[in-house]
Amino acid sequence: MSEQAPGVHTYHPREFHRQAHEALDNPQIRANFRKAMDGLMAKRCDSFDDWDLEALRELGANIRLRALARLPDLLEQLEANCEANGVRVHWAEDGDEACRIVREICESHGATSVIKGKSMVTEEMHLNDHLEEAGIEALESDLGEYLVQLNQQTPSHIIMPAIHLNTDEISRIMHDKTGIERTRDVDAMTAAARQQLRERFMAAGVGVSGVNFAVAETGTLCLVENEGNGRMTTTVPPVHVAVTGIEKVVEHLRDVPPLYSLLTRSATGQHVTTYFNMIGSPRKEGERDGPKEVHLVLVDGGRSDIYQDDELLDTLRCIRCGACMNHCPVYTRVGGHTYGTTYPGPIGSILSPHLMGLEETRDLPTASSLCGACGEVCPVKIPIPDLLVRLRQESVGEGRGNVAGAGVKRSRKELAAWKGFQWLATHPSAWRAGTSMAGKLRGLTPAKLGAWTRHRTAPKPASTTLHALVKQHQAARTDKEECR
Amino acid sequence: MSARETILKRLRERADGALSAPESDFSVMTGRGWSPQERLARFEHWIGSVHGEVIHVAEDDWTGALTTLLVDKGVRRLALGKRHPVAAEARLALADAGVALVDVDRDIEQWQREQFENVDAGLTSTRGAIAETGSLWLWPTPDEPRLMSLVPPLHIAVLDAATLEDTFFDVMERHEWADGMPTNALLISGPSKTADIEQTLAYGVHGPRELVVIVRHATAADSHDTRPEA
Ligand code: SF4
């Protein structure tokens, strides 16, 4: 990764707890997220008004399952159809290999400037840093991504990258970095960004985009967006490179409308986005615009590992709508950067451990109250809470052991404590002796109990155990008992 | 082994065994059964909700409405095709209207900056529209290329009321998209927009600031009247 400018805050999943504290202490962050998430939840709810939502979610889940069940065949079919359409297909085992492929395409065209449409997988593989090291400038064109890039930050939400910033902060960023007059007028700031980016679209040698759905049956790449920067990125520069995770493939074209319906409503509560852009091929003979070359880069990046396990597999159904974060009480309070990963919130907590290993991400599966909201709103019915529990088990070495870094949180002390508790709880006389002893020695309980007492007072064992209380109560009622 | 082979091999030799694919029930995506009037009302409601303007005109007089619109919007340079009947009829009607007609049958490399900086509006035909979401569908052609509906600040789209259908799924099935997709297929639902600055909606961030749909209704007794009921 390239060096960060001085004063730029970097986040890391290992520092989750510290970062969460900082975020919780920042009223601005909390207010920005609270406001945005409340609005998004209400809008999502309204947007499904006319629908049999359960039937639609069932269909969405089922389409994704079917695609995963046939994944290797569909990837080959996608490749064959893309190639037949004139789209060149590349495969990358990891992010580094994918970065290399994109860089080589740029270099083969002598491109020194790349314009980017929103793409989470390129965030995941740190493409911008990689290109910059090779002397190729990569500029984000989605307004939110552009602002975040100007501010030398990373996105804090997968759909709304700049959701952590408010109008005043954005006004300051645009003034400081692009020299426009300070203003609180959103239209004026939007118009300025339009002007700045139009030049860049014209100058870019290569456009890099993500993919929302890749259709195996026809070799079609689908992009969902509101701004038009995605269409610009995939139409204006002479070369278009689409980058996608291997799980984004769907079998049939008819699988697309249900997923699109679910995606826009779940993400932002929109009944539809402004543009649905379906790319079939490079510019054909006689056509007047569009890129002359289109490439598709298929990135594994840990996905084929997730694919091996029947339970974890569900993670790959995700269509990246962000609804799970919008509804997550933890995400809403700590914000996206706190997670220190490309994908924050519940989806990030079940995905990042596979991409980065549990060593780095050990705290993320615990960043949840298991309230279940994420699983309930997920448009493709991913049982997120179950997967969080599974990853907690993996992290303490009680799972199947097939996640990198499994067992990293296994602690001898904790294990011994639970073993002891288990023994006590299954031996009644020892239990009674122990609890009555604890009651007698209650004055000796330490006032500080590590993490527990950081925000709570230390619990004191009761002087009389529940068992003893029940006994006294029963004795008092003996007469009645005898009457029965 | 190449990355391709490695990935496919790993997927095929899945540790927990082969997966079985479920059947899908698509009934929730279709069967709306809306009347032409209902369809039109829904289309207009939804595209209006995202800032799209709709103008209803009789089929045989649509160019009159176009001329008025161009004057109202102050359009001086209009980009349009030549062969499609929409473009051909517009060209005839606008011959003396004081609007410069910009040819788009040129490779973009020859006139990119002109298109980005010096065109006020793009006029396109549409293949149809979707009532459920208020979306137009376009398959750009050499006569009406991809950027015409994106780069100029105003996009004027001409839609025949009879081509409205209920859902995206219906359009795709009825027109057998899966049998042959074009270079680029588009759904367009309103002008370009963003809410990236503190959730405040702003239009025209990269694409058009305005989208006007001229809905042409069949005239005379030759067809059913699809105009909204008064
Ligand atoms: S896990 Fe579900 S709710 Fe979360 S982003 Fe993915 S599809 Fe959306």
Helical residues (DSSP H) of A113-236, grouped into ranges: 120-124, 127-133, 143-150, 167-178, 186-203, 229-235
Decide if A229 and B135 are in contact by the 8 Å CB cutoff. no
3-class DSSP state of B128: strand
Query: Is A77 within 8 Å of chain B by CB?
Result: no
Which member of B3, B145, B168 has the closest CB to residue A257?
Answer: B168
Q: Round to whole Å and give the CA distance between A114 and A106.
A: 8
CB contact under 8 A, B199 and A35: yes
CA nearest to A321, candidates A299, A338, A346, A341: A346
Q: Cα angle at A274 between A219 and A125, to 5 degrees? A: 55
Residue B29 to residue A257, Cβ atoms within 8 A? yes
Q: Find all residues with CB under 8 Å of A163, minimum gap 6, and list them.
A: A32, A33, A36, A144, A156, A157, A336, B199
Is A183 in CB contact (< 8 Å) with chain B?
no
With a cut of 70, list the residues of chain A below it in pLDDT: 1-8, 479-484
Q: Does B31 touch chain A (CB under 8 A)?
A: no
Kindly tell me if the per-residue pLDDT of B218 is higher than 50.
yes
Q: In chain A, whose CA is at the least distance from the CA of B202?
A: A187
**Residue A479: its pLDDT value, please?**
60
B183–A194 CB contact, under 8 Å: no
pLDDT attached to residue A1: 37
Q: Which domains does chain B have, with CATH numbers?
A: 34-217 (3.40.50.10420)
Contacts of A269 in chain B (CB under 8 A): none
ipTM of the prediction: 0.95
Contact A91 B2 (CB under 8 A): yes
Q: What is the DSSP letter of A161?
A: T
Q: b/e map of A40-61 (b: 16 or more CB within 10 Å)?
A: bbebbeebbeeeebeebbbbbb
pTM, two decimal places: 0.93
A–B CB contacts, 8 A cutoff, strictly below? 249
Q: Domain A70-301 falls in which CATH fold?
A: Rossmann fold (3.40.50)
Ligand 1 pocket list (CB less than 6 A): A 266, 318-324, 347, 377-380, 382, 384
Residue A350 to residue A20: CA distance in whole angstroms: 18
Residue nearest to atom 3 of ligand 1 (CA): A378
| Of residues A473, A465, A389, the one with CA closest to residue A428 | A465
Q: Which sequence spans correspond to the domains of chain A? A: 70-301, 428-483
**CB within 8 Å of chain B, chain A residues 128-157:** 141-144, 147
pLDDT at A37: 94
Binned at pLDDT 50, 70 and 90, residue B221 comes out as: low
Nearest to A288 among B107, B116, B168 (CB): B107
pLDDT digits (tens, 9 = 90+) for B11-39: 999 999 999 999 999 999 999 999 999 99
Q: Which of these ranges, A249-253, B147-151, B161-165, B216-220, has the smallest mean pLDDT?
A: B216-220
Chain B contact set for A285 (CB, 8 A): none
Q: How far is the CA of B81 from the centre of ligand 1 (A)?
A: 42
Ligand 1 centroid vs A323 CA: distance in angstroms? Answer: 6
**Cα distances (angstroms) measured from residue A15 to each of A22, A328, A331, A360:** 11, 20, 15, 9
pLDDT value of residue A435:
85
Q: At what angle do helices A143-150 and A186-203 cross, to 10 degrees?
A: 90
* Contact A170/B at CB under 8 A: yes
For B211, the closest chain A residue by CA position comes to A274
Closest atom of ligand 1 to CA, residue A266 = 8
Distance A384 CA to ligand 1 centre (A): 9
The span from the CA of A203 to the CA of A112, in Å, is: 10
Chain A residue closest to B200 (CA)? A186
The pLDDT score that the predictor gives to residue A5 is 44
Give the pLDDT confidence score for residue A2 in this predicted structure.
39
Note whether A193 and A146 are within 8 A (CB).
yes
CB atoms B145 and A289 under 8 Å: yes
Evaluate whether A468 touches A481 at the Cβ level (below 8 Å). no
